[in-house]
A and B are shown apart, each in its own frame.
Chain A
């Protein structure tokens, strides 16, 4: 089986961040970057399929600047076989522009399955996977939480978690899937894997980005929460609390 996994470098979302002076981007100073969480699940799914389905190849692709190579090498250290870096000075916010670059690369790659994370953990858009599928003319299932393939028959079944229900979808291969968290616990890179990653092939070529029609106008942090007020203690404070909730906060 030949599987492509499209991955993305994102800031560690546990860290505090600030908005850059251009008011359109996150200030990268002091931030740590890593593989987007959902992409980690997608990679794990690909590696497990390769292990269970016999001989095959897992190829990781990523669009972005030079620093993108770090997460490509991380994916190789976790177990992917080779990497393709589609070089672009920046990753455009417009998912369709990125999808064009990926589709151009994937078109003649002969992949049985093309996997994405459900969304990038920084933009939270979740558009690139379905758009790439559309450009390639392939079926797409988004937010997959369980997967079964019948490779011989060239079909698969994917589950999606809905509010209070599970949806099961059948699709023919090749297909594009975007993977939700929890489908398979991602493995850690082993020390040997880290050493081996250096020897695995990574091709780098310019990304054939589509036209960028969507750009960020401004980014703003939510307003700081005002400090709390103590209006009194015990039962004596209740009438004043009720008055404030009614007249000031207008929630009663």
Chain B
């Protein structure tokens, strides 16, 4: 029987018919197109490129942006449900969609000129252009304000120099949103965003090898060496470190939902296995130790669902704060890591096989735990929020 979600508290009733329809169509797409191939791509360490056009046809990229730019114009709860369903399949596939929508289309939508929006958004929505987001650098991860990539203004444009690292989609992207300092190297207020077609001379990307996590997603290092750009490559409304951080709030919002999808997949797999696997003459689901595992997973997933739904409603009525997103990202990814590990253990020896999904999710979620603001950084953001004192 196909995956049917987890809904212990009848939260489905709090979703609109349209929100449920969006979730169900993405769920069906994942069952039909992603689940049959994901294990193989994960093992081979390849992103399943052939799925991009199907994702675009369904309208998954930038689905919460307006229809005039070729997007679906969904609300944020529906957008969250898309992320949940994609990550039920694989965190790498959800990452692809998160980057395309939340980190490439969103900054162009918010900081771009009308001409930039009209040119890029429909192409990105249709999957004709693939985007990546260049903020993190080898020595500046949790502290992006310290970046040393520079953009020098010239007579007729800009020249970019620097290195970006841990860039999802970096090597397959046709366009990159690159963040660079336009003023003094110690001035984070001078950080601006640039739209960089990756075919531009001086742009080079190479995949980071040896990943044991997010293997079905491309992660790359980007080198920018004397990259000459026209004046209109600048995102005119971007200014200061706040601009890229606001993009991260979008992506983290999606991650809070996505992690829940991964946790639900693991719980679902563990529950089915627990009912079927016979040991000592009865299903292992009839043993206390596995029941505790399942009860813990169900409880944490249900709590996370309540959190996400309210966060989504806040985002839709315009009152969501970045700190609320931090809490949800921190909680949900952490609980998803726990669920995946416990599900893997419940599955016994079978749990280490790629035929089952829990260990893949377990390994993926270690990246999700670390990217888009590490678990620890979100602790400090919340600490600062409640005490008024920054500890970083």
**Contact A194–B25 (Cβ < 8 Å):** yes
Interface status of A77 (Cβ within 8 A of chain B): yes
Q: Which residue of B lies closest to A198 (CB)?
A: B18
Interface status of A238 (Cβ within 8 A of chain B): no
Complex Cα–Cα for A216 and B82 (A)? 42
Interface status of B266 (Cβ within 8 A of chain A): no
Complex Cα–Cα for A187 and B228 (A)? 45
**Contact B2–A189 (Cβ < 8 Å):** no
Chain B facing A: main interface SS: helix
Interface size on B, residues (CB 8 A): 21
**Contact A77–B28 (Cβ < 8 Å):** no
Complex Cα–Cα for A234 and B73 (A)? 67
Interface status of B349 (Cβ within 8 A of chain A): no
**Contact B57–A14 (Cβ < 8 Å):** no
Q: What are 15 A-to-B residue pairs whose CB atoms are below 8 Å? A: A14-B1, A14-B2, A70-B17, A188-B29, A188-B58, A189-B25, A190-B58, A191-B22, A191-B63, A191-B78, A191-B82, A194-B18, A194-B22, A195-B67, A195-B73
Given the known inter-chain contacts A14-B1, A14-B2, please indicate yes or no for A192 contacting B72, CB distance below 8 A.
Answer: yes
Interface status of A74 (Cβ within 8 A of chain B): yes
Measured CB to CB, the closest approach of chain A to B75, in angstroms, equals 10
Measured CB to CB, the closest approach of chain A to B108, in angstroms, equals 19
**Contact B17–A191 (Cβ < 8 Å):** no
**Contact B58–A191 (Cβ < 8 Å):** yes
**Contact B59–A190 (Cβ < 8 Å):** yes
| A residues in contact with B60, CB < 8 Å | 191
**Contact A188–B17 (Cβ < 8 Å):** no
Measured CB to CB, the closest approach of chain B to A252, in angstroms, equals 31
Interface status of A73 (Cβ within 8 A of chain B): yes
Measured CB to CB, the closest approach of chain A to B36, in angstroms, equals 15
**Contact A191–B59 (Cβ < 8 Å):** yes
Contact of A74 among B21, B57, B59, B63 (CB under 8 A): B21
Given the known inter-chain contacts A14-B1, A70-B17, A73-B17, please indicate yes or no for A192 contacting B25, CB distance below 8 A.
Answer: no
Measured CB to CB, the closest approach of chain B to A238, in angstroms, equals 25
Highest count of chain B CB atoms <10 Å: which of A188, A190, A191: A191
**Contact A188–B28 (Cβ < 8 Å):** yes
| B residues in contact with A70, CB < 8 Å | 17
Measured CB to CB, the closest approach of chain A to B15, in angstroms, equals 13
Complex Cα–Cα for A14 and B148 (A)? 57
Complex Cα–Cα for A44 and B29 (A)? 17
Within 8 A of A (CB), among B42-75: 57-60, 63, 67, 72-74
**Contact B72–A191 (Cβ < 8 Å):** yes
Contact of A77 among B2, B21, B29, B63 (CB under 8 A): B21
Highest count of chain A CB atoms <10 Å: which of B1, B58, B63: B58
Highest count of chain B CB atoms <10 Å: which of A73, A192, A198: A192
Q: Which residue of B lies closest to A189 (CB)?
A: B25
**Contact B25–A191 (Cβ < 8 Å):** yes
**Contact B59–A192 (Cβ < 8 Å):** yes
- Give 1 or 0 for each of A165-196: 1 = CB within 8 Å of chain B CB: 00000000000000000000000111110110
| B residues in contact with A73, CB < 8 Å | 17, 21
Measured CB to CB, the closest approach of chain A to B4, in angstroms, equals 8
Given contacts A74-B21, A195-B73, 17 further A-B contacts (CB under 8 A): A14-B2, A73-B21, A188-B25, A188-B28, A188-B29, A188-B58, A189-B21, A189-B25, A190-B58, A190-B72, A191-B58, A192-B59, A192-B72, A194-B21, A194-B22, A194-B25, A195-B72
Q: Which residue of B lies closest to A185 (CB)?
A: B32
| B residues in contact with A188, CB < 8 Å | 25, 28-29, 32, 58
| B residues in contact with A77, CB < 8 Å | 21
**Contact B2–A191 (Cβ < 8 Å):** no
Complex Cα–Cα for A77 and B21 (A)? 9
- Give 1 or 0 for each of A191-217: 1 = CB within 8 Å of chain B CB: 110110010000000000000000000
Complex Cα–Cα for A191 and B18 (A)? 9
Complex Cα–Cα for A70 and B17 (A)? 8
| B residues in contact with A14, CB < 8 Å | 1-2
| B residues in contact with A194, CB < 8 Å | 18, 21-22, 25, 72
**Contact B17–A195 (Cβ < 8 Å):** no
| B residues in contact with A198, CB < 8 Å | 18
Complex Cα–Cα for A192 and B22 (A)? 10
Measured CB to CB, the closest approach of chain B to A91, in angstroms, equals 20
Measured CB to CB, the closest approach of chain A to B61, in angstroms, equals 10
Complex Cα–Cα for A188 and B28 (A)? 8
Complex Cα–Cα for A14 and B60 (A)? 27
Complex Cα–Cα for A189 and B23 (A)? 11
Given the known inter-chain contacts A14-B2, A74-B21, A195-B74, please indicate yes or no for A190 contacting B57, CB distance below 8 A.
Answer: yes
Measured CB to CB, the closest approach of chain B to A43, in angstroms, equals 15
Q: Which residue of A lies closest to B12 (CB)?
A: A32
Measured CB to CB, the closest approach of chain B to A33, in angstroms, equals 12
Measured CB to CB, the closest approach of chain A to B314, in angstroms, equals 22
**Contact A192–B67 (Cβ < 8 Å):** yes
| A residues in contact with B74, CB < 8 Å | 191, 195
Measured CB to CB, the closest approach of chain B to A198, in angstroms, equals 7
Complex Cα–Cα for A190 and B22 (A)? 8
Within 8 A of B (CB), among A56-91: 70, 73-74, 77
| B residues in contact with A189, CB < 8 Å | 21, 25
Measured CB to CB, the closest approach of chain A to B87, in angstroms, equals 17
Within 8 A of B (CB), among A135-176: none
